[in-house]
Amino acid sequence: MVRTGVGASAATGARVASALAVLAAAVAAGVSLGVGPLADAFFAATVLGIVSLVVVAAVGAWTTRPTVAWFGALAVAAVVVVGRWSAGVFIVPAALALLAAAATSQRARRRERDRDGPDDSPAWPVLVGRALAGAAALAVGATLLYLGAFVRELFAAGCARETLSCALAVTNWDAVALTALGVLAVAVGGSLVWKQAFRASLAAWGRRGSNDD
Protein backbone atom coordinates (compact mmCIF):
# COMPACT_ATOMS: atom_id res chain seq x y z
CA MET A 1 0.00 0.00 0.00
CA VAL A 2 2.84 2.38 0.84
CA ARG A 3 4.55 1.69 -2.47
CA THR A 4 1.33 2.26 -4.37
CA GLY A 5 0.87 5.59 -2.60
CA VAL A 6 4.44 6.63 -3.40
CA GLY A 7 3.93 5.68 -7.06
CA ALA A 8 0.74 7.70 -7.29
CA SER A 9 2.46 10.65 -5.65
CA ALA A 10 5.34 10.46 -8.15
CA ALA A 11 2.92 10.28 -11.08
CA THR A 12 1.08 13.34 -9.78
CA GLY A 13 4.36 15.18 -9.35
CA ALA A 14 5.36 14.34 -12.92
CA ARG A 15 2.08 15.69 -14.26
CA VAL A 16 2.33 18.90 -12.26
CA ALA A 17 5.92 19.49 -13.36
CA SER A 18 5.08 18.75 -17.01
CA ALA A 19 2.14 21.18 -16.93
CA LEU A 20 4.39 23.86 -15.44
CA ALA A 21 6.97 23.19 -18.17
CA VAL A 22 4.42 23.69 -20.94
CA LEU A 23 3.16 26.87 -19.30
CA ALA A 24 6.70 28.21 -18.91
CA ALA A 25 7.50 27.35 -22.54
CA ALA A 26 4.35 29.12 -23.75
CA VAL A 27 5.29 32.26 -21.81
CA ALA A 28 8.88 32.07 -23.11
CA ALA A 29 7.66 31.67 -26.69
CA GLY A 30 5.32 34.65 -26.35
CA VAL A 31 8.10 36.85 -24.96
CA SER A 32 10.65 35.68 -27.53
CA LEU A 33 8.39 36.04 -30.55
CA GLY A 34 7.40 39.45 -29.28
CA VAL A 35 11.08 40.45 -29.41
CA GLY A 36 11.90 38.62 -32.65
CA PRO A 37 8.86 38.75 -34.95
CA LEU A 38 7.54 35.85 -37.00
CA ALA A 39 8.96 37.47 -40.14
CA ASP A 40 12.36 36.14 -38.99
CA ALA A 41 11.82 32.59 -40.21
CA PHE A 42 14.90 31.08 -38.60
CA PHE A 43 14.19 32.56 -35.19
CA ALA A 44 10.50 31.64 -35.29
CA ALA A 45 11.31 28.06 -36.34
CA THR A 46 13.77 27.75 -33.46
CA VAL A 47 11.24 29.00 -30.94
CA LEU A 48 8.49 26.71 -32.22
CA GLY A 49 10.89 23.76 -32.35
CA ILE A 50 11.82 24.23 -28.69
CA VAL A 51 8.15 24.48 -27.72
CA SER A 52 7.46 21.25 -29.64
CA LEU A 53 10.22 19.46 -27.71
CA VAL A 54 8.77 20.71 -24.45
CA VAL A 55 5.31 19.41 -25.38
CA VAL A 56 6.69 16.00 -26.41
CA ALA A 57 8.61 15.65 -23.15
CA ALA A 58 5.61 16.82 -21.12
CA VAL A 59 3.36 14.24 -22.78
CA GLY A 60 5.94 11.55 -22.00
CA ALA A 61 6.05 12.56 -18.33
CA TRP A 62 2.25 12.89 -18.09
CA THR A 63 1.71 9.39 -19.51
CA THR A 64 4.55 7.86 -17.43
CA ARG A 65 6.88 7.24 -20.37
CA PRO A 66 10.24 8.23 -18.89
CA THR A 67 12.20 7.50 -22.09
CA VAL A 68 10.23 10.11 -24.03
CA ALA A 69 10.31 12.51 -21.09
CA TRP A 70 14.07 12.29 -20.68
CA PHE A 71 14.71 12.61 -24.41
CA GLY A 72 12.78 15.88 -24.63
CA ALA A 73 14.05 17.22 -21.31
CA LEU A 74 17.72 16.60 -22.15
CA ALA A 75 17.26 18.06 -25.64
CA VAL A 76 15.79 21.26 -24.22
CA ALA A 77 18.50 21.41 -21.54
CA ALA A 78 21.17 20.98 -24.22
CA VAL A 79 19.76 23.94 -26.16
CA VAL A 80 19.92 26.07 -23.04
CA VAL A 81 23.48 25.00 -22.14
CA VAL A 82 24.90 25.33 -25.65
CA GLY A 83 23.24 28.73 -25.95
CA ARG A 84 22.33 28.50 -29.61
CA TRP A 85 18.92 30.02 -28.95
CA SER A 86 19.29 33.80 -28.65
CA ALA A 87 16.49 33.95 -26.04
CA GLY A 88 17.65 30.84 -24.21
CA VAL A 89 17.41 32.44 -20.80
CA PHE A 90 13.62 32.45 -21.09
CA ILE A 91 13.45 28.67 -21.53
CA VAL A 92 15.45 27.85 -18.37
CA PRO A 93 12.33 27.48 -16.16
CA ALA A 94 10.75 25.09 -18.67
CA ALA A 95 13.98 23.05 -18.89
CA LEU A 96 14.20 22.72 -15.10
CA ALA A 97 10.54 21.72 -14.85
CA LEU A 98 11.04 19.10 -17.58
CA LEU A 99 14.03 17.57 -15.79
CA ALA A 100 11.96 17.32 -12.62
CA ALA A 101 9.05 15.82 -14.58
CA ALA A 102 11.30 13.22 -16.23
CA ALA A 103 12.84 12.20 -12.90
CA THR A 104 9.49 11.82 -11.14
CA SER A 105 8.03 10.03 -14.16
CA GLN A 106 10.83 7.48 -14.05
CA ARG A 107 10.26 6.98 -10.33
CA ALA A 108 6.54 6.48 -10.93
CA ARG A 109 7.26 3.96 -13.69
CA ARG A 110 9.61 2.01 -11.45
CA ARG A 111 6.95 1.91 -8.72
CA GLU A 112 4.37 0.66 -11.21
CA ARG A 113 6.65 -2.17 -12.29
CA ASP A 114 7.44 -3.00 -8.69
CA ARG A 115 3.74 -3.08 -7.81
CA ASP A 116 2.84 -5.28 -10.78
CA GLY A 117 5.19 -8.03 -9.63
CA PRO A 118 8.40 -9.64 -10.91
CA ASP A 119 9.85 -8.11 -14.04
CA ASP A 120 10.11 -10.27 -17.16
CA SER A 121 13.09 -8.40 -18.62
CA PRO A 122 15.39 -10.31 -20.99
CA ALA A 123 18.57 -11.93 -19.74
CA TRP A 124 21.63 -9.77 -19.15
CA PRO A 125 23.42 -10.80 -22.41
CA VAL A 126 20.34 -9.69 -24.37
CA LEU A 127 20.22 -6.38 -22.52
CA VAL A 128 23.91 -5.76 -23.19
CA GLY A 129 23.53 -6.67 -26.87
CA ARG A 130 20.63 -4.28 -27.32
CA ALA A 131 22.49 -1.54 -25.48
CA LEU A 132 25.49 -1.98 -27.79
CA ALA A 133 23.18 -1.81 -30.82
CA GLY A 134 21.72 1.41 -29.43
CA ALA A 135 25.21 2.83 -28.89
CA ALA A 136 26.09 2.00 -32.50
CA ALA A 137 22.94 3.78 -33.69
CA LEU A 138 23.92 6.78 -31.57
CA ALA A 139 27.36 6.88 -33.18
CA VAL A 140 25.93 6.65 -36.70
CA GLY A 141 23.35 9.32 -35.91
CA ALA A 142 25.95 11.68 -34.46
CA THR A 143 28.07 11.23 -37.59
CA LEU A 144 25.14 11.98 -39.89
CA LEU A 145 24.23 15.02 -37.79
CA TYR A 146 27.79 16.33 -38.05
CA LEU A 147 27.95 15.76 -41.80
CA GLY A 148 24.54 17.31 -42.48
CA ALA A 149 24.44 20.24 -40.07
CA PHE A 150 28.12 21.26 -39.95
CA VAL A 151 30.06 19.88 -42.93
CA ARG A 152 27.45 20.43 -45.66
CA GLU A 153 25.54 23.16 -43.76
CA LEU A 154 21.75 23.39 -43.72
CA PHE A 155 21.48 26.84 -45.27
CA ALA A 156 23.57 28.74 -47.78
CA ALA A 157 24.32 32.43 -47.39
CA GLY A 158 22.45 35.05 -49.36
CA CYS A 159 19.42 36.24 -47.37
CA ALA A 160 19.33 39.97 -46.74
CA ARG A 161 16.19 39.37 -44.67
CA GLU A 162 15.48 36.00 -43.07
CA THR A 163 12.00 35.53 -44.52
CA LEU A 164 10.37 32.16 -45.08
CA SER A 165 10.65 32.34 -48.87
CA CYS A 166 14.35 33.17 -48.71
CA ALA A 167 14.97 30.47 -46.12
CA LEU A 168 13.39 27.86 -48.39
CA ALA A 169 15.39 29.13 -51.37
CA VAL A 170 18.77 28.79 -49.65
CA THR A 171 18.03 25.49 -47.88
CA ASN A 172 20.42 22.63 -48.71
CA TRP A 173 17.88 19.82 -48.79
CA ASP A 174 20.47 17.03 -49.01
CA ALA A 175 22.01 18.32 -45.78
CA VAL A 176 18.53 18.54 -44.24
CA ALA A 177 17.91 14.90 -45.18
CA LEU A 178 21.21 13.79 -43.62
CA THR A 179 20.42 15.77 -40.48
CA ALA A 180 16.93 14.30 -40.23
CA LEU A 181 18.32 10.77 -40.57
CA GLY A 182 20.89 11.60 -37.91
CA VAL A 183 18.21 12.85 -35.52
CA LEU A 184 16.17 9.70 -36.13
CA ALA A 185 19.17 7.43 -35.53
CA VAL A 186 20.08 9.30 -32.34
CA ALA A 187 16.50 9.08 -31.10
CA VAL A 188 16.25 5.35 -31.81
CA GLY A 189 19.69 4.58 -30.40
CA GLY A 190 19.18 6.72 -27.32
CA SER A 191 15.80 5.16 -26.66
CA LEU A 192 17.24 1.66 -27.01
CA VAL A 193 20.13 2.37 -24.65
CA TRP A 194 17.85 4.07 -22.14
CA LYS A 195 15.34 1.21 -22.12
CA GLN A 196 18.02 -1.37 -21.46
CA ALA A 197 19.48 0.74 -18.65
CA PHE A 198 16.01 1.16 -17.18
CA ARG A 199 15.30 -2.58 -17.34
CA ALA A 200 18.66 -3.30 -15.75
CA SER A 201 17.85 -0.86 -12.93
CA LEU A 202 14.49 -2.56 -12.44
CA ALA A 203 16.19 -5.94 -12.17
CA ALA A 204 18.69 -4.55 -9.65
CA TRP A 205 15.83 -2.89 -7.74
CA GLY A 206 13.96 -6.20 -7.61
CA ARG A 207 17.00 -8.04 -6.30
CA ARG A 208 17.52 -5.41 -3.62
CA GLY A 209 13.88 -5.66 -2.61
CA SER A 210 14.05 -9.44 -2.33
CA ASN A 211 17.21 -9.16 -0.22
CA ASP A 212 15.47 -6.66 2.06
CA ASP A 213 12.58 -9.08 2.52
Q: What percentage of the chain carries pLDDT values higher than 70? A: 73
Instruction: Supply φ then ψ for residue 122, to 5 degrees.
Output: -65, 170
DSSP string, 115-162: HH-S--PPPHHHHHHHHHHHHHHHHHHHHHHHIIIIITTSB-S--SS-
Contacts of 132 (CB under 8 A, 6+ apart): none
Q: 155: which strand partners?
A: 171
Please answer whether residues 106 and 13 qualify as being in contact, where contact means their C-beta atoms are separated by less than 8 angstroms.
no
CA distance 162 to 20: 32
Residue 16's pLDDT is what? 93
Q: What is the pLDDT along the chain (213 residues), one digit of tens a residue?
A: 344 455 568 788 889 999 999 999 898 888 877 765 555 666 777 778 888 889 999 998 999 888 888 888 888 887 777 655 455 667 888 889 999 998 898 888 877 766 655 555 667 778 888 889 989 998 998 898 888 878 877 777 666 566 667 767 777 888 888 888 988 888 888 888 877 887 777 666 555 444 444
Q: 0.85 cut: is pTM over it?
A: no
Using alpha carbons, select from 7, 203, 204, 196 the residue that is nearest to residue 115: 7
